[in-house]
Amino acid sequence: MTHPAPTDDVVETVSLYVLDALPADERATFERHLAEGCRTCAGEVARLTPVVGELGHAIPGRAPRPEVRDRLLARLARPWTIVRADEGGWERDPLGLDVRRLHRDPADGRATSLVRMPGGARYPRHRHASTEELYLLEGDLTVEGERLRAGDYCAAGPGTIHGETTSDGGCTFVLVTSEHDEVVSDQVTRPTPRAGLIFVRVTESPWRPGVVPGVEMRRLHTDRARGTITALVRMAAGTRLPGHRHITAEQLFMLAGDAQIAGESLAAGDYYRMTAGTSHDVTHTVHGCEFLLISSAVEVFG
């Protein structure tokens, strides 16, 4: 897809690109986009690249304190994003939903968020620009007549349309979706209700043994176009998962317990993301844990 004009998202992505601040997977995606011949993005790259060389002269030079420099270098060396349960503010969107952004991929136009929907709220009929995934943490949510409860999962494929989404008593859910979804009117036709929708109840899809003893997985969805799976993962106390390399970006939302990943301790409500092509060492848990996982369908272990 080419861009007819330099939107705010385009300018933001290009700015990060010329500053060499895009993660590796996002940079590769953007460079493929440039190779496909988007003149708008190429023009913005040409316009903003000379600016980078002037940034160093914009303010007087000042050496940072040693501890500030050390913290900055340590953060830049980490190929992961962590959002703690008590970090990040909630923002009210135009439709009256409270949204807490966990991660945004400007190159891909997708975002992962926590969403709170108050009782009586109604989300309008809309078309999905790419795969949408929703995992209900608490409360109730009705999608196309299907009433979801805590632990239920719903996915909608690219290009699909579903009707108004409602909640009677309010709810909270993890949402992964495109920022380019669009609200559509009732006059827009669709093949059949629920076309392209997948529902997985908390009582469905049994737990199956994982790659090592002490690990169980409950598969929720396979997105073949993106090369990813979505699953619930359960690790027994003391379990250690081998080090592995990520073919795609890996996202993890802690539901319960504790996990130790790449030297970081995670607890319930924490979010963790590793970029594509990165690796980390053994993942282990002291007391046991359960988390929602979106990762490549094939991970490389060892």
Q: For residue 188, is it within any domain?
A: yes
Q: Look at residue 259 in the predicted model and tell me its pLDDT.
A: 95
DSSP state of 238: T
Q: Look at residue 29 in the predicted model and tell me its pLDDT.
A: 80
Q: Look at residue 188 in the predicted model and tell me its pLDDT.
A: 60
Residues 138 and 104 in one domain: yes
Residue 139, Ramachandran bin (φ over 0: left; ψ between -120 and 50: alpha; else beta): left
Q: For residue 271, is it within any domain?
A: yes
Of 150, 170, 200, which one is at a domain's C-terminal end?
Answer: 200
Domain range for 231: 208-301
Q: What is the helix (H) or strand (E) element at residue 116, kind and residue range?
A: strand 110-117
Residues 214 and 193 in one domain: no
Cα separation of 249 and 228, whole Å?
A: 9
Q: Look at residue 6 in the predicted model and tell me its pLDDT.
A: 80
Residues near 165 by beta carbon (within 8 Å), at least 6 away in sequence: 122, 123, 141, 142, 143
Residues 186 and 229 in one domain: no
Q: Look at residue 273 in the predicted model and tell me its pLDDT.
A: 92
Of 165, 200, 235, which one is at a domain's C-terminal end?
Answer: 200
Q: Look at residue 287 in the predicted model and tell me its pLDDT.
A: 96
Residues 99 and 184 in one domain: yes
Q: Look at residue 214 in the predicted model and tell me its pLDDT.
A: 93
Q: Look at residue 154 in the predicted model and tell me its pLDDT.
A: 95
Q: Look at residue 62 in the predicted model and tell me its pLDDT.
A: 64
| Total tally of structural domains belonging to the chain | 3
Q: Look at residue 283 in the predicted model and tell me its pLDDT.
A: 87
Residue 247, Ramachandran bin (φ over 0: left; ψ between -120 and 50: alpha; else beta): alpha
Residues 186 and 271 in one domain: no
Residues 108 and 175 in one domain: yes
**Mean pLDDT by groups of 10 residues along the chain of 302 residues:** 78 81 76 80 80 58 64 56 88 88 88 95 89 96 93 93 91 94 73 76 89 91 88 94 83 96 90 84 91 80 46
CATH of the domain at 194: 2.60.120.10
Residues 101 and 21 in one domain: no
Q: What is the helix (H) or strand (E) element at residue 9, kind and residue range?
A: helix 8-18
Residues 2 and 39 in one domain: yes
Q: For residue 120, is it within any domain?
A: yes
140-to-9, 135, 136, 169 alpha-carbon distances in Å: 33, 11, 8, 6
Q: For residue 63, is it within any domain?
A: no
Q: Look at residue 103 in the predicted model and tell me its pLDDT.
A: 92
Q: For residue 6, is it within any domain?
A: yes
Tens digit of each residue's pLDDT (9 = 90 or more) over 64-80: 667 656 555 554 556 67
Cα separation of 272 and 270, whole Å?
A: 7
Report the SS3 class of residue 244. strand
Of 200, 223, 255, which one is at a domain's C-terminal end?
Answer: 200
Tens digit of each residue's pLDDT (9 = 90 or more) over 134-144: 999 999 999 98
Beta bridge partners of 216: 209, 234
Q: Look at residue 113 in the predicted model and tell me its pLDDT.
A: 95
How open is the CA angle 176-180-185, to the nearest 5 degrees? 110
Q: For residue 83, is it within any domain?
A: no
Residues 188 and 245 in one domain: no
Q: For residue 67, is it within any domain?
A: no
Residues 164 and 264 in one domain: no
Q: For residue 292, is it within any domain?
A: yes
